[in-house]
């Protein structure tokens, strides 16, 4: 298994993986076009030429970033793939000098193990403005906001 920056040839595999978890409400859907647009921010885990894991870095401003579109295919869960992709994304944000990274998630234990802590969503208005206002679950959001301070 190899973790590396995404290439254009990975886009269909990335789409497929994200779509699978978007259907169950665990991830926000990403279109083919939006993945291409943000491809430089994506990491993939690849095994036998197949995309088995994905994750991306989104930057709001110099003080705030987000780990997005993190997913590992069902057959490869529990082997450290999600952790390794997340660590790459955290490292990139640190190297860029960004102050904090957030995640909005159902995977509290996974992110706790990476050093993230639970916070109130009200403390991240940038995220609420970007994604939450147009979300059908806005008044009944059951995801947990988590943050890690970088550097």
Ligand X SMILES: CC(C)(COP(=O)(O)OP(=O)(O)OC[C@H]1O[C@@H](n2cnc3c(N)ncnc32)[C@H](O)[C@@H]1OP(=O)(O)O)[C@@H](O)C(=O)NCCC(=O)NCCS
Residue 105 near ligand X by CB under 6 A: yes
Smallest separation (angstroms) from ligand X to the CB of 2: 15
Binding of ligand X by 27 (CB under 6 A): yes
Residue 119's Cα: distance from chain center in Å?
17
Q: Does 60 bind ligand X (CB under 6 A)?
A: no
Q: How far is the CB of 139 from ligand X (least distance, A)?
A: 21
- Kindly provide the residue ranges of all beta strands, DSSP E only, lying in the chain, ordered along the sequence: 2-5, 42-47, 50-61, 64-72, 100-105, 117-119, 144-149
Strand order in the sheet with 42-47: 2-5, 42-47, 50-61, 64-72, 100-105, 144-149, 117-119
Burial of 38 (C-beta count, 10 Å sphere; 0-12/13-18/19+): middle
Residue 14 or residue 71: which is nearer to ligand X going by CB? 71
Q: Is 82 in the site for ligand X (CB under 6 A)?
A: yes
* CA torsion through residues 103, 117, 84, 23, sign: negative
* Pairwise CA distance, residues 110 & 115, whole Å: 9
Q: Does 142 bind ligand X (CB under 6 A)?
A: no
Q: Is 62 helix (H, G, I), strand (E, B) or coil?
A: coil
Asked whether position 13 contacts ligand X by CB under 6 A, the answer is no
Per CB under 6 A, the list member of 19, 47, 110, 128 interacting with ligand X is 110
Pick the closer one to ligand X by CB: 36 or 76: 76
Closer residue to ligand X in complex, CB, 109/122: 109
Q: Does 20 bind ligand X (CB under 6 A)?
A: no
Query: If binding is defined by CB under 6 A, does position 56 make contact with ligand X?
Result: no
Q: Which of 8, 33, 78, 151 binds ligand X (CB under 6 A)?
A: 78
């Amino acid at each position: 298994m190899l973790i590396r920056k995404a290439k254009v040839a990975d886009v269909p595999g990335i789409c497929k993986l994200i779509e699978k978890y978007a259907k169950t409400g665990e991830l926000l859907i990403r279109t083919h076009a939006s993945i291409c647009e943000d491809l430089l921010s994506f990491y993939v885990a690849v095994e036998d030429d197949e995309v088995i894991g994905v994750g991306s870095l989104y930057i709001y401003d110099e003080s705030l970033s987000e780990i997005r579109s993190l997913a590992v295919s069902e057959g490869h869960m529990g082997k450290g793939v999600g952790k390794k992709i997340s660590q790459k994304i955290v490292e990139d944000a640190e190297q860029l000098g960004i102050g904090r990274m957030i995640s909005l998630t159902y995977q509290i234990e996974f992110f706790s193990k990476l050093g993230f802590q639970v916070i109130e969503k009200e403390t991240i208005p940038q995220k609420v403005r970007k994604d939450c206002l147009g979300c059908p679950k806005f008044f009944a959001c059951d995801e947990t906001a988590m943050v890690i301070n970088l550097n």
